[in-house]
Amino acid sequence: MEINGNFIHDIIDKDLAEGVYDHVHTRFPPEPNGYLHIGSAKAITISYEAAKKYGGLFNLRFDDTNPVKEDDEYVQSIIEDLEWLGAEPSGGIFYGSDYFDQCYEFAVKLIKDGNAYVCDLTAEQMREYRGTLTEPGKESPYRNRSTAENLDLFERMKNGEFPDGSKTLRAKIDMASPNINMRDPAIYRILHAHHHRQGDKWCIYPLYDFAHPIQDAIEGITHSLCTLEFENHRPLYDWVVDHIGIGHKPSQHEFARLNLTYTVTSKRYLRELVETKIVDGWDDPRMPTLCGLRRRGYTPGSIKDFVRRAGVAKAYSIVDLELLEHCIREELNTTAPRRIAIMDPIRVVIDNYPADQREYFTVSNNPQDESAGTREVPFTRELYIDSSDFSDNPPAKFFRLKPEGEVRLMGAYIVKCGEIEYDADGKVKLIHCTADLETGNGSPADGRKIKGTIHWLSCEHAGDIRVMHYDRLFTIPNLNDIPEDKEYGDFLNPESVLQLNGKAEPALADAKDGDRFQFVRTGYYVKDTKYENTFNRIVTLKDSYKPQA
């Protein structure tokens, strides 16, 4: 698929034309404190495709500078998600923690150059000294410590002599800066915590705004692409690169993050959903995580197509979830084999069909793809039809099976409804029909028109399946704009999942985990990778999304 241009590509074109860089090198820097989500797919796609378009390199770098929340489980899941998306880290896989020694040495350089100092203010005091958007900050009483004292204190911080939170290393910039991020930001904090890669070597850790530009510079990144919340951090990014004196200067550029209707992408809240067992793990098919979307049945191609159609821009916007559904529906319409499954079966007896007779009707595997071939579906005297295809008190223009009415059994005979049997609760138990055995899968000899066609299964050959119908996890479209007195949990959809016990044609018995199908007249489904004999609905057949011209 051709890579569409966007404003980031315009920036790269200009940089290459003016000789700012002679190549392109991008990166994706996730923090391994949770699973990637649909918003991550946008960030990955933007950086990966920028590198690919210009014949450059793309790095995966784990931002593992906060040991309290990080775990190797998340590292492995992120690697798996990138492989699934096809975003090969051609420049390599790196870890921010591998640069801790260099970060420390650069911090020492800042102290020696008079550009950093050790501060004893508490976090609360730092907030008080920082000032506001309209008022300048106030200098720390520790700002003018001597170089020798700062070096001594910083080394003792590294050696573990001080408790957590008692001191920080701060960049010495400008407490009157209109950009609050430049008002002597903390660049190191004390944290006695075990690191998933570094073990107990460190009890001080660099903050993201300090570590990230150093990592980019060391790896030779040219274009550091990130979401808009980092736009006000860009001056600090540039300040760090300029003052460490590494020689290579990457440039940071921001784009609007992906906001999707009916969707929350906060890792903290997604983790809460998992830990409180509101969902069936990070890969629950209702989750916006990539592993959840994968288990739901979405394909890498549909997600990348969605990201491209959603666009890359600077302005905030919220994208309709129906666009994502449209992308997978459009793909599966041409690729998914057709199979017959019945969600709520009713038994039908064809009274004039021999009880010992078996025959097979040929049906297409995919009308959109002749090369998909055909299969044989068995037909017998006793059949299943779906309860939605029958009514004993039909509304106007009901063209499915009804008393004295005729329908076409898809690909087979025309049948007429006769006697109806009910159970003790008044529910339909059995429908008797007669078949026009001259029709086969052809037209009636007398030329009468049959308006309804329904799907069916041979009772003798049908297998049991569990079907999971997933709906939106939340009830309101814009979860970025909820009232202050409300929480995400107030808008959880109590009907976001429905389990059905259905019947399926024999061909589905050979389905492998992850195989996708269109269940005729019902929707698109995928064989679940977690539970046996279970099929998850990916998306319905109905597409209400209208692509823009």
Pairing of strands 345-350, 428-436: parallel
- Tell me phi and psi for residue 313, to 5 degrees: -145, 175
Using the CB atoms, write b or e for 450-476: b if 16+ within 10 Å: beeebbbbbbebbeebebbbbeebbee
End-to-end CA distance of the chain: 20
Q: Whole-angstrom Cα distance, residue 244 to residue 128?
A: 29
CA distances from 492 to 108, 271, 486, 489 (A): 49, 15, 12, 5
Pairing of strands 251-255, 223-227: parallel
Residues with a known catalytic role: 31, 257, 267
Q: Whole-angstrom Cα distance, residue 541 to residue 536?
A: 14
Residue 97 CB-density burial (10 A; 0-12 exposed, 13-18 middle, 19+ buried): buried
Dmax over Cα atoms in the chain, in whole Å?
A: 105
**The three-state (H, E, C) secondary structure of 270-282, written as one string:** HHHHHHCCCCCCC
Closest CA to 528 of 468, 470, 471: 468
Structure tokens at 30: 């996730």
CB of 527 closer than 8 Å to CB of 511 = yes
Q: Whole-angstrom Cα distance, residue 390 to residue 421?
A: 13
39 dihedral zone (left: phi>0; alpha: psi -120 to 50; beta): alpha
Q: Whole-angstrom Cα distance, residue 392 to residue 402?
A: 6
Sign of CA dihedral 96, 101, 104, 106: negative
Sign of CA dihedral 370, 371, 372, 377: positive
Structure tokens at 130: 């920082």
Closest CA to 345 of 450, 437, 440, 465: 465
Closest CA to 258 of 322, 325, 302, 321: 321
